[in-house]
Amino acid sequence: MKLIVQKFGGTSVAGLERIREVAGRVARTREKWERVVVVVSAMAGETDKLIEMAQALSPDPAGREVDLLLASGERIASSLLAIALDAMGVPSVSLTGGQAGILTEGTHTRARVRTIQPARILREMEAGRVVVAAGFQGVDRFDEEQTLGRGGSDLTAVALAAALEADLCEIYTDVDGVYTADPRIVPGARRLERISFDEMMELASLGAKVLQPRSVDLAAKYKLPLVVRSSFGESEGTVIMNEEAGLEAPAVSGVSCDREQSKITAVGVADRPGIAAALFGELAEKSIVVDMIIQNVSENGLTDISITVDRKGAGEAEEIMRKIHADIGASSVTRDDEVAKVSVVGIGMKSQAGVASRVFAALAGAGINIMMISTSEISISVIVNRELAETATRALHEEFIG
Ligand code: ADP
Ligand code: ASP
Ligand code: MG
């Protein structure tokens, strides 16, 4: 029996009128598909509001309380959608993550999906109901609520689609597909009809928030047919699929921009063996993901080591570096939150030379200084001053995509 999973993001369920529209769309889907599972995010802005309230009450609220609080946002949206569907004569049931069989593990507020036990969903579908699952959440072995990190409803949708062996997973959002760059930054960005899993993964993890990176990873693993579409119209959207670099593949398929970066520098570090190992060992122990690393040329036996991390982890990373700065012989530690990462992504880059020099020339042409550089097989990223991030994104889009 054909099964579809449809996920609706925050703006798609932002108010009662939007929820009614989504219900109408689900009702139409129901006419074509025998089994329908819907995943919803919290209403637009709700998660941010809940986080702000918790932080207003405490600088360091307990993870379990934050998770219980945040999970409520998605529950409100799922119940309202089920109520709207019932009112339209579409039998439906809303389920919390735990009721939907989403079992998690790991740290509060950034848990991983351990496994899915879909028995309840299967029973509900058997009884002819549309299942509306609250996104972004699950329960751990101790029956504690956990959330899956920002943007986690995408992961809920993909994980359910994989577990239920869905024929299609549609992600409905406020743009009508994946664009060559964030259309809010580059007005001339174009919608891509399709994009490879590899490129989508790279774009997502380098800051294009249209899909959460882990959801793309999981979809690729299960070869899940995945489409990004708009809930505001009938455009075809973007299909994410397995694709090899063709001979004609452009060097760059997309440009992404991540403003949530910080740069931390240990100044005047002793340039001798074992120093980097000590520094990065300590950071790894605290599960801090270090993105870029740069070590300056040594002068008088002293060097500077700079790293970039996600801004949310910057305070902790800085603290660790300050704590061990004496051990590694650093004279001081500095932190710069005013940086951003801008990246070009394309599988065509594998077979084309000169992409890096075009990146540097385009940025130089726009008068932008590059602080750090990193590359992967299909991407080149640079760290720039945050104020210049949008100009840099537009300059690179202009150079490679036009
Ligand atoms: P939702 O609430 O539906 O999950 P998100 O805000 O998480 O929506 O993601 C959609 C947003 O992602 C768009 O509004 C757009 O500004 C942004 N975005 C960033 N990069 C891209 C891109 N390459 N293509 C499309 N949208 C992008
Ligand atoms: N509501 C959560 C967030 O804002 C999860 C999601 O929307 O996917 O991050
Ligand atoms: Mg999202």
Residue 170, ligand 1, Cβ within 6 A = no
pLDDT of res. 209: 92
Nearest-angstrom CA–CA distance, 258 and 207:
4
pLDDT of res. 1: 75
**Which listed ligand is nearest to 212 at the C-alpha?**
3
What is the CB < 6 Å shell around ligand 2?
A: 9-10, 41-42, 47, 73, 135-136, 150-154
* 51 CA → ligand 1 middle, Å: 21
Ligand 1 atom nearest the C-alpha of 181 is 23
pLDDT of res. 272: 84
Nearest CA to ligand 1 atom 11: 210
Residues whose CB is less than 8 angstroms from the CB of residue 10 and which lie 6 or more positions away in sequence, other chains included: 41, 42, 43, 44, 45, 46, 47
Q: For residue 43, report the phi and psi dihedrals to the nearest 5 degrees.
A: -60, 145
Mean per-residue pLDDT pooled into runs of 10, the chain (402 residues): 95 98 98 97 98 96 97 98 98 98 95 97 98 98 97 98 98 97 97 95 96 97 97 94 74 96 93 87 87 85 92 92 88 96 95 94 98 95 97 98 94
* 47 CA → ligand 2 middle, Å: 6
pTM: 0.94
pLDDT of res. 247: 58
Nearest CA to ligand 2 atom 6: 151
- Tracing tokens 């941010």 back to the chain, one arrives at 48
pLDDT of res. 402: 92
Buried b vs exposed e over 254-279: b needs ≥16 C-beta within 10 Å? bbbbbebbbbbbbbbbebeeebeeeb
